[in-house]
Amino acid sequence: MYKSLTFILIVIIGIANARGFSNIKAENIRHIKSFSSQKNVGLDLCPTCINVADESINILLNLILDTGIIGTCGTLCQALAEKTGSEILGTVCDIVCDVVGIDEFIKLIEKADLDPIWYCEIAKLCPVNDHGDAKITKFTILPPTGRQGQTFTIDFTFVSVNGTGTGELTIDIRTPDHIPLGTGFLLQAQKPGTYNERITVKAEPDPQCDPTQQPCEQWLPGVYNVTVQICNGECGSKHPHSAIYDTGRGTFQLTG
Ligand SMILES: *[C@@H]1O[C@H](CO)[C@@H](O)[C@H](O)[C@H]1NC(C)=O
Ligand SMILES: *[C@@H]1O[C@H](CO)[C@@H](O)[C@H](O)[C@H]1NC(C)=O
């Protein structure tokens, strides 16, 4: 349990950074794993791959830009393996590069257009389901009102008739001080069924946030608009095996 939570936290940071969301402490927004005891469809290699995909993509970009290593999939991916000291990263890179072709692979990396879920689906380490679906049937935020320091709990249920593909759960919060907050969580492929999910949001400024470096959420009094999306693939991705399954909306209020 602890181990999988660590993975989730790593994945959150990876995906959140890739999506260019504002910086937010991992403790501020948490995803509490599905209460259901359904086992995932995929092997556990999927979250591991998502985790290394981010690292691989960044290092590959540096290799291409700094050293101009291009040539073949073999030379590029071998350079990645050497740089990271990991044969596995090199092997996954080789598989993906061979499938899309070296020219397209380099283009995708240079355009920062290679999202980790798609990368791991091409490598056949994350399962694909193009007939998946998910419908949000319940969505609550409690308490509706609180003071700064309050933890708000977003509980929602989704029902899937055909199961889901490897995807993402995102939360986006529109704040009164107009600093967009949000993050994404890996949602592993699921069998048909009913799933209960919980995300908690702690409405408390981060004392470590440096306003000269980045916008720092102040958690001012007002109404906070919350949007949650369940997606196949990365939310907003234009790649194959990607779609928004459903969107849930709600609000909470901070009082002064
Ligand atoms: C489930 O899959 C079938 C075919 O595989 C498709 O016709 C149907 O539309 C899917 N259902 C939903 C709710 O997407
Ligand atoms: C929240 O949504 C309401 C209704 O759409 C809108 O009037 C309000 O400006 C939104 N608040 C923020 C902080 O975006």
Q: pLDDT by residue (tens digit) across 158-206?
A: 999 999 999 999 999 999 999 989 999 999 999 999 999 999 999 999 8
Q: How far is the CA of 147 from the centre of ligand 2 (A)?
A: 19
Distance between CA 141 and CA 156 in Å, rounded?
A: 9
Q: What pLDDT, on a 0 to 100 scale, did the predictor assign at position 33?
A: 58
For 128, the token pair is 């694909």
State the pLDDT confidence band at 34, using cuts at 50, 70 and 90: low
Q: What is the mean pLDDT of residues 72-101?
A: 93
Is 70 exceeded by the pLDDT of residue 24? no
Taking CB atoms and a 6 Å cutoff, what residues make up the pocket around ligand 2?
174-176, 223, 225
Q: How far is the CA of 227 from the centre of ligand 1 (A)?
A: 25
Q: Which atom of ligand 1 is nearest to the CA of 133?
A: 14
Give which of 2, 31, 38 is closest to 15, Cα–Cα.
31
Backbone phi and psi for residue 78, each to the nearest 5 degrees, phi listed first: -65, -40
Among 141, 174, 175, which residue has the most ligand 2 atoms within 8 Å of its CB, making it the best to mutate?
174
Taking CB atoms and a 6 Å cutoff, what residues make up the pocket around ligand 1?
131, 133, 161-162
Identify whether the C-beta of residue 208 lies closer than 8 Å to the C-beta of residue 92: no
Q: How far is the CA of 225 from the centre of ligand 2 (A)?
A: 6
